[in-house]
Structures are given as structure tokens and as C-alpha cells.
Structure 1
Amino acid sequence: MPSSASPAVSVTTPATALRATRRRELPPRLAYLHAGAVIGIALFASATPSPLYEVYRAEWGFSTFMLTVVYALYALGVLTALLLVGRISDEVGRRPVLLASLSALLVATGLFLAADGLGWLIAARTLQGLATGAALGAASAALLELHPRRDPDSAGLANGVFSAGGMASGALIAALLVQYAPAPERLPYVVLLVLFGVLLAGAAAMPEPVADRRPLRIQPQRPSVPPAIRRRFLLAGLGVLSSWSIGGIFLSLGPSLVAHLLETDNHLSGGIAMTALAGSGAVAQVLFHRAAPWRAASLGSIALAGGMAVIVAAISSDVAWLFFVGAVVAGMGFGVAFLGGLRQLMAVVPDHHRAEVMSAFYVVAYAALSVPALLAGLVVRSWGQVTTFQVFGAAVFVLALVVAVEAWRTRPGAEAPVVAA
């Protein structure tokens, strides 16, 4: 009798546990939205400190150059994470990487909350960058794998809208809280703690889309793209290079420039400027997501160049309303150019290289975001903010036109030279 009871226990218990585990998993559609929310909230958090930089600078007495260094440390942290662990979720799974990175984002937010000097700010921003880099590669790959129809176009659109929408809402909501809410140096981070806590709970219940997992290996990696998709990656890289380069300048110097143009110390002005850029980018992606990817990258870059020219003209002539018009035009170009390249890339990424390729994509993005901001910080003391923005704005204008031409040359049937492997 005992011998017949034992097998019953050994068979029933694992089955019951498996059913319980499945009951705790997020439904597929909710898991898909959760992956997009990780991208959006991570970029929301990246923009949250922006309205506070001038407050920190006035309170703690550091220079404008150090302000841009603090900003650039975030982007360098993202790059470091992408290079060290960019492909790790292809090996160990999306869920473990999301759990670890969201936990680190909670710690980074706690550091912001406790910050009382420049050293705390540097530590918080660097950890935030490292955690965001790990989260973006895993979440972007999961977004395609968890899509109800596994549709790369829809997943690419969602990625772009969550990215731009996160940056826009982060800057605007943080500016509102800093300007009008109590405890302006604390409350924005309390909001982030709640958001990341919800995301962490969701990640714990997320189904794991990677079936073939391998042992953990953490080692330096160079960005790698399979040879078969390098032409598509080139187009995606061109789109993000032109579009995100303007974001770095806006996030680091935009708030103080807008305050100068409007002759105000209201922190909301900088948040509105960032929302005009990134928010119009999110809207444009929804409106023009059916355009051919090469056409979107080319025409979007032309719009980006035109918007940048208007912004530079507004700064040169001290016309505030023109600055916001230029930001909307540039933002629409930024959104369409970014989405065009991303859609084409997501359609061809091999299953076992998704996180690796998306990490390489974000390496290009964050290099475009950080390098111009850091260079601007080096020269802003001697050139001044207006001249610095004019010079770097002109550089973005030229870069966007180059990208527009190169994207056009990748159109179907064109005899386009491709960057060699």
C-alpha cells in the first residue's frame, strides 16, 4: 500500500505547482504591454531629473560642465551595460534580466531620493544608466516575442511610441511636480519608486519567452549584428543617429535655454520644450507608421533638419514661440525617422540574436545621445549656452541631411553602397 501511494504524490505535486505557476502568469496581452511599459518608464525615469538640474546646480554650486557630465554619465552607463550584458537575456531569459534591472532602478531611484550633494547625483545617475541599458535590450526583445501576432511592425511602433512617450511624459510630469508640488527634490522620485515597484511585480509574473536558456556568462562584448541583416541595421542606425542626437542637446541644455528665451525661472518651461520634441515624435509615429521604412527614415530626417534650422533661427532672433514650433517639427521628424529604421530592423532580427541586436541598436542610440551632450558641456563655459546650441544644432542639421540621403539610397531597387561588415 505505501508503495502505491508514493507515485501518486510525486506525480500530482509538480502538476499542481505548474498549474499554480501558470495561474500567476500575466496573460499574453498584458505581458506584452508590460514589456512596453518597462521601455516607457525607464525612459520616463531618464528624463525625470532634467527639470531638477538647475535646482541642483544652484543649491550645490557645480558648473554647467558638471551638469552635462552628470547627464552623460547616464548615457555612458547605458552603453556600458549594453556592452557587458547586452545579449545576456538571449542566454538566461528575459524575465531574470528584467527582474535584476528593475531592482537596480529601484536602488538608483532611492539614491536620487537621498541625494544631498553632487557625489550622490553621480552615483544615482550612473546606476540608473547601467540598469536602463540592461532593461532596454531585454524588454525590446520581449516586446516582439510577446506580441499577440508576433508582428514586427506593430512591435516596432509600440517600441517607438513607448520610448518617445516615456521621455516626453517624464520631463513634463517631473517639471510639474518640481514647480507646483511640495518637496520638489523628493516627490518625483517617490512617484518613480511606485512605478518601478509595480513593474517589478509585473516582471515576476511575466511569462518567459526564451525557451532555450543557457548558463550565465558575463563578459565584455563588442556590438554584434549578424551579417545577413547588416543593411537593415545600417538604416536603423542612421535613423536613430540623427534623431537621438538632438535629444541629448535638449535634455542637457534645453531647460536653461528655454528659461533664457522666455525670461522665466518656471521649471515647467523646460518640461514643455522636451514634451514638444518627444511628444510630437510619439504622435508622428502613430500617424505615419504605415510609411515604407526607408521613406520614413529619409523624410523624417529631412523634417528633423528643418525643425533644427527653425530652432537655431529662434535662438538667434530671441523668438520663443518659434523655438517651440521648431521643436514640434524636429520632434515629428525624430519620431518618424526613428520608427522607420526600427520597424525594418525588427522584421529581420533572428530569434536567438534579438537582445544582442537590439542592444547594438541602443549602443548607437545612446552614443548619439551622450557624445553631443558631453562635447557641449566642454565648450559651453567659453562659448555660452546660445552659441553652443547654435553650433551643435547646425551639426545636427547637417547630420540629419546626410542620414536622409543615405536612407534614400537604401530604398528597394537602388544601387546603394552598404557599409562593409
Structure 2
Amino acid sequence: MSSPCPAREANPARASLRWFLALALVSALLNSSAPTPLYPHYQQTLALSSVSLTLIYGGYAGGVLLSLLGVGNLAGRVRDLRVMIVPALMAVAGGALLFALANSFWSLLIARVLAGIGTGALTGAANVALLRFGPDDGGKRAALSATLSFTLGLALGPIFSALALQLGIYPTLLPFMLIMLMALCAMVGVTLYWPDRAREGAPTLSGQPLRTLRQGLAATGGAFFLCAGALFTAWVAAASLLAIGPNVARELLGMTDLGLFGYLVAAYLLVSGLCQLWCRRLDARHTLLSGCLALALCLLLFLMAVHWQRLGLALFGFLVAGYAQGAIFVGSATLVNRIAPRASHARLVSLFYVIAYLANWVPVLLGWVSDHAGVGRAMDLLCLGGALASLWLAWRIQARAFHHG
């Protein structure tokens, strides 16, 4: 008698569905990174202050946080995940359309918030769907697909914008029209290829009583906050460099072609993604420690590059920053999964990412410093403060044991 559940790997409909799920993630992450090289253009044409620019950048993180807090815990409980994936893709497409038509601070801010809401909701739902409809390999293929989709989406976004800037082909319109097309294509594909009788069983809860967040934090001690603090510091550096980096490159390093900055951001994001794949094989504590040390190094390199006006030093610093971001993300996330008690695991992981996404609002402070004291002082504050924080975290991580929860 044939098996009632044929091998999922051999099912062409499921393979097509996984492809469209990956396309959905790529479109969402493209929408995240594509605006980066365009910020100076918007600042000049719309007469925006640096604070306004960093608020627009932070709007994306605000949207992601709204999704994480609002629907982030539903993905594992919903049977038909299309009810989350399709609206999330609509938010991604709507954010891209609004960004393409934006002509004011508020339209840009709302576009970024919509993009963040779509990405936050889609990330959880698409990852769960990849796991449900992937091969029976313990989730390895699903994790690989998600990581590659994130890396590809983040890296290609600045490339699309940089090419449009350099060629002068509607740089504020064309990249976002492409993102809209990809999101709509993913929406149609997910709807058409969704199995009639999917292996939907939403996870059943075990008989183990759930612990409160306070009990989970008490069980992990300071180890949880070291991991969250490391990722927060890394994302502060990343968000700040992406938000004020184009102005730093133009005013302090003499980079007149900001299309080149887009390629540099793409290289940085590509290195970060590849490091995430490589670091999964290494010891998590050593990975996190090396990431913190690399983050301190890259910030000091940026500081020297700005004061000595050495563009090559800044380029090297970006590559080191890519390793630092990848290593800190993998190391901290792995350690949180290891130390979190099973009964409070979901709550601790949610708090971990909420803390990390709050880092995207720190550039607003740097924007204020830029408006009042200059972009050079903002870079001094970022590099010195971030380097000292990274070195302190590395010292504490070296002395801390991370036991299983």
C-alpha cells in the first residue's frame, strides 16, 4: 500500500511553493535595504534634517516591532499560514508603492513602517511554512533557504538602487516597482501552490507548564542580557552606518558617487550573510566573542578613516563589520536558544529580538548630533562608544559560562 504522505522533497507542487516562499522573503528584505543609497537624494530634494532621515530609517524597525509584538507568536499556531503571508506581502507591496510615490517626510515614514510590518509578519510565517513543507531533514533545508533569502534580499537591494542612481533611470521609482512586482508574484504563487491538505498541524502544546518571562530571565541570569546586549550593539552600529553612512561617505571621505556606497553596503551585507552560514559550524561562545572583537576593530577603523580621510581604510572596515554582524548574530541567537528554559523559550526569544530591533532608533540621536555638531562628531560618538561597549561585552562573554536552560 502506498504511503498516504508522499515524500515532500519529491512533490513538485511543494517545491514550487518553497520557491515562492523564498521569493516572498527576498522581496521583503529588498524593501528593507533598497532605500539606503537613496537617503541623501531624499534629504536634498525634500530638505530633510538628519533627524528626519534617521526617523525614516527607524520607521522600518518600528513596523517590525509592531508585527513581532502583535502577530509574532501566531505563526506557530495558525493552520493555514496564507492568512498571514498574503496580507504581509500586501503590506510589503504597499510600502514599496508608497516609497516610489513619496514626496514628503510623512509619506516616506509611513512607507517604511508598512515595509517593516510586512517584513515582521512575513519572516515568522514564511519560516514556519518553509519548515512545514520542506523535506524531513530536521529543518536544515528550511533554515538554509531562509538564510540565503535574507542574504540575497539584503545584498541586492542597495545594488538595484545604486545601479538606478548611476544610470539615472528613475532611481526613486524603478527599484520599488521591481519589489512590488516580486511581492505580487510571490503572493500569486503562494496562493496557487498551497497544498489542499497541507501538513498543517499547528504545534500542540506539551503538558509542561509555561513559565513567565521573569522566571525565564531569572533562570538564564546575566547570560541572556549579554547575548541581547551584543546583538543590540551590533545592530546599533549597522543601523547607524546605513542611516548616516551616505552623508559620512560624501562629506568626510570624498565619495561623490553614492552609487558606489550602495555597492559597498551590498558587499557588507553579503559578507554578513556568508559569515552566518559559516559560523553555524563553530562554537557559539567563541563565535560571539570574535564578533564583538571584530566589531570593536571595525569601529576603530572607521574612526581612523574619517579623521585621516582614508577611503580604503573605511572599505576594509566595512568588510570587517560584515564578519562582526554575522558572527554576533549567529553566536548570540545560538546561545539564547541554548540557555533558554524550554517552558519560557518563546518569550525569551521574542524579547531578544525586541531588544535588538530597538537598536534601530539609536541613529535618531546621531541624527540630532549631526544637525547640531556635524556628522564628524556623530561618527566620533558612534565609533568610540560602540568600540568601548564591544570590548566590555567581549570581556564579560569571555568570563561567562553559558549553560543549557
Distance in 1, Cα, partners of 2:162 & 2:387: 28
Q: Which residue of 1 aligns with 2:164?
A: 177
Q: Report what 2:264 is aligned to.
A: 273
Percent identical residues: 25
Q: How does 1:224-373 map to 2 (within 5 A)?
A: 227=216, 237-345=228-336, 359-368=350-359, 370-373=360-363
Deviation at 1:285, TM superposition (A): 2.4
Aligned residue in 1 for 2:373: 383
Letter matched to residue 361 of structure 2: V
Structure 1 residues 192-222: Cα deviation after superposition (integer angstroms, max 9, x where no partner): 01111122123323455641389xxxxxxxx
Whether the 8 Å contact between 1:79 and 1:366 is mirrored in structure 2 is: yes
Label 1:198 to 1:344 Cα distance change in 2 as closer, same or farther (>3 A).
farther
- 1:398 aligns with 388
Give a deviation string over 1:148-174, Cα, whole Å, max 9, x none.
345466655654454344322212221
Equivalence for 1:116: 103
Give the alignment of 1:102-251 within 5 angstroms: 102-151=89-138, 159-204=146-191, 205-206=193-194, 210-212=200-202, 227=216, 237-251=228-242
Shift of 1:190: 1.0
Whole-angstrom CA distance in 2 between matches of 1:403 and 1:203: 43
Secondary structure of 1:170's partner?
helix
Q: CA deviation at 1:119?
A: 2.6
Instruction: State whether residues 24 and 182 of structure 2, in contact with CA within 8 Å, keep that contact through their aligned partners in structure 1.
Output: no
Contact 1:90 1:352 in 2 (8 A): no
AA of the residue aligned to 2:261: G
- Match of residue 33 from structure 2: 47
Map Cα deviations across residues 352-391 of structure 1 (whole Å, 9 max, x no partner).
Answer: 99976654443223112x1221211222111211210121
1:345–1:140 Cα change, 3 Å: farther
Q: Which runs of 5+ in 1 are unaligned?
A: 1-18, 215-222
- CA offset digits 1:288-335 (Å, max 9, x no partner): 331012221111221121111111111111100000101101211111
Further displaced range: 285-294 or 349-358: 349-358
Q: Counterpart of 2:75 in 1: which secondary structure?
A: helix
1:50 Cα deviation (Å)?
1.6
Preserved CA contact (<8 Å) 2:213 2:344? no
Quick one: distance in 2 between partners of 1:404 and 1:199? 41
* Alpha-carbon distance in structure 1 between the residues aligned to 2:234 and 2:143: 16
Deviation at 1:182, TM superposition (A): 1.6
In 2, distance between residues paired with 1:149 and 1:345? 25
- The alpha-carbon distance between structure 1 residues 235 and 294, as it changes in their structure 2 partners (threshold 3 A), is farther
- State the one-letter code of the partner of 1:112: F
CA displacement 1:247-299 (0-9 Å, x = unmatched): 11122111121123442432212212312322211222233331012221111
Partners of 1:57 and 1:377 in 2: CA distance:
12
Shift of 1:41: 3.0
Go from structure 1 to structure 2 and tell me whether the alpha carbon gap of 1:280 and 1:376 turns closer, same or farther (over 3 Å shift): same
Q: Alpha carbons of 1:397 and 1:104: their partners in 2 closer, same or farther (altered >3 Å)?
A: same
- What SS does structure 2 have at the residue aligned with 1:89? coil
The CA distance in 2 between the partners of 1:28 and 1:355, in whole Å, is 28
The one of 76, 85, 92 equivalent to 1:98 is 85
> Partner of 1:184: helix, strand, or coil?
coil
| In structure 1, C-alpha distance between the alignment counterparts of 2:111 and 2:290, rounded to whole Å | 38
| TM-score, length basis structure 1 | 0.79
Give the aligned CA root-mean-square deviation in angstroms. 3.5
Q: Secondary structure at the match of 1:296?
A: helix
- Relative distance call for 1:152 and 1:304 in structure 2 (3 A) is farther
Q: Distance in 2 between matches of 1:210 and 1:356?
A: 23
The structure with more radius of gyration: 1
Structure 1 residue 235 displacement after superposition: 6.3
The answer as to 2:18 corresponding to 1:70 is no
Q: 1:345 to 1:38 in 2, by over 3 A?
A: farther
Q: What residue is the counterpart of 1:86 in the other structure?
A: 72
Distance 1:32 1:347 in 2: 28
1:254–1:273 Cα contact (<8 Å) kept = no
Partner AA of 1:387 in structure 2: R
More deviation, 196-205/354-363: 354-363
Letter in 1 for 2:69: L
Q: Distance in 1 between matches of 2:122 and 2:99?
A: 19
Verify the 8 A CA contact 1:140 1:358 in the aligned structure 2.
Answer: no
Higher mean displacement: 391-400 or 183-192: 391-400
Evaluate the alpha carbon distance shift between residue 277 and residue 192 of structure 1 in structure 2; reply closer, same or farther with a 3 A threshold: same
Distance in 2 (alpha carbons) for counterparts of 1:355 and 1:97 = 19
Instruction: Provide structure 2 residue ranges, at least 5 long, that are not aligned to the other structure.
Output: 205-211
User: Partner of 2:77: helix, strand, or coil?
Assistant: helix
